[in-house]
Amino acid sequence: MHTSDTVVGIIGGSGLYQMDAIHDLEEIHIATPFGEPSDAFLRGRMGDTTVVFLPRHGRGHRVSPSELNFRANIWGMKKLGVSRILSVSAVGSLKEEIVPGDFVIVDQFIDRTRHRVDTFYTGGVVAHVMFADPFCPNLREALVAAAGSTGVKVHDGGTYVNMEGPQFSTRAESKLYRSWGADVIGMTNLQEAKLAREAEICYATIAMATDYDCWHEGHDAVTVEQVVATMHANVDHARDVLMKAVPAVTSAPTCGCQSALAHAIMTDPTTIPDEARDRLGLLIDKYV
């Protein structure tokens, strides 16, 4: 049996804390230079592909969006050899035609966060990666195809507003985001995507619409109860999409995500402090 060298990471969001389709599981605790990840990483096999699963908020949903240690989560994935990450997230819909239960394979972001650390490159190393297209085109294509074959309504592209939270939006904010043309709203994906790009890991998301946020006059304002109920009703579809997408993302990448740092580091290598080399070596050693 052919075994792929590509290790695929899966980050599960609200309602997706485990995946029974992953076999031969081992639980791996990783200490990172950036502190504690959300939980132990679960490494196993899906068919002939090695996958590493991490529940974004930890098992038991213990870590709030603003408290997520995105750097530790992405660094841990890199340490385990992950080169492509598929993420699953619950989102509110900002458009009539994105009905709760639909999947959106988002392709853009608007940043409305205020309390987040979103770069690895501080303390003596400066890097500016490209982020005009924040999601990996190869992974997006695989997710659109996989989602299409499950019978769920899938929207190819959409702008994800990343709000701070943990409170949901006010009606005025929700209407403002609609006037900007945004499609969905959530609290977690932007920093993950930025850090994955900085770590040269491909990243894409299955955003599952769970509610109409609070702008829709015909629907009650979003509640956790509503998000959880829609997620539970649809989480098996998300698992199906992942099972179909994982083998499809093991071929050689044609995107530029895995060389994103090649021309991004501004710092003269001779000035990089030893401490920064130790902290960032996993990410920058091949360039400096």
Ligand X SMILES: CSC[C@H]1O[C@H](OP(=O)(O)O)[C@H](O)[C@@H]1O
The footprint of ligand ADE (CB under 6 A) covers 90-92, 163, 168, 185-187, 210-211, 213, 222, 227
Which does residue 53 touch among ligand X, ligand ADE, none (CB within 5 to 8 A, set by kind)? none
CA–CA separation, 169 vs 39, rounded Å? 28
Q: Minimum CB separation from ligand X for residue 163, in Å?
A: 8
Nearer to ligand X, 140 or 279 (CB): 140
Distance between CA atoms of residues 186 and 34, nearest Å: 24
Provide the residue type at 269 as one letter: P
The length of the chain, given as a count of residues: 288
Which residue among 39, 102, 183, 211 is the active-site one?
Answer: 211
Q: What string of DSSP letters covers 44-75?
A: EEETTEEEEEEETTTTTT---GGG--HHHHHH
Contact partner at residue 34 from ligand X, ligand ADE, none, CB < 5 to 8 Å by partner kind: none
210 annotated as ligand-binding = no
Closest CA to 102 of 244, 251, 207: 207
Catalytic residue selected from 39, 107, 183, 213: 213
Number of CB atoms found within 10 A of residue 92's CB: 29
Which residues lie across from 156 on neighbouring strands? Answer: 105
213 a catalytic residue: yes
Is residue 132 part of an annotated ligand binding site? no
Backbone phi, psi, residue 45, to 5°? -130, 140
Cβ-based nearer residue to ligand ADE, 29 or 171? 171
Is 180:96 a contact under the CB 8 Å cutoff?
no
Of ligand X, ligand ADE, none, which one sits near residue 13, judging by CB under 5 to 8 A according to partner kind? Answer: ligand X
Taking the complex as a whole, the smallest distance from the CB of residue 14 to ligand ADE amounts, in Å, to: 7
Is 211 labelled as part of a ligand binding site? yes
Residue 158 CB, shortest distance to ligand ADE, in Å, is 14
For residue 211, indicate whether it is catalytic. yes
Active site residues: 211, 213
